[in-house]
Amino acid sequence: MDENFSVVIKNSIYGKFEVLQRINETTFLIKIAERELFVDSEGNFR
């Protein structure tokens, strides 16, 4: 659990989601509501 990851969790207003893959320092691939989405460490969709 690093700082960026914590920010994603903290800013999450998407309810429960699963992190599938960390793309780089600031981008994560998450799965939510049966869809795969990219989010950055601010919790914004890419």
46, part of any domain: no
Q: What is the pLDDT of residue 14?
A: 55
1, amino acid identity: M
45, part of any domain: no
Residue 5 CA to residue 13 CA, distance in Å, equals 14
Q: What is the pLDDT of residue 9?
A: 59
Which tens digits make up the pLDDT trace of 5-44? 655 655 555 566 777 888 888 888 888 778 888 888 777 8
Residue 2 CA to residue 28 CA, distance in Å, equals 13
Q: Where are the alpha helices (DSSP H) in 1-46?
A: 3-10
Bridge partner list, 39: 28, 45
Q: What is the pLDDT of residue 3?
A: 60
8, part of any domain: yes
Residue 10 CA to residue 35 CA, distance in Å, equals 20
Confidence grade of residue 1 (pLDDT, cut at 50, 70, 90): very low
17, part of any domain: yes
- Report how many domains make up the chain: 1
pTM: 0.52
9, part of any domain: yes
Containing structural domain, residue 13: 3-40
Q: What is the pLDDT of residue 4?
A: 60
Bridge partner list, 27: 40
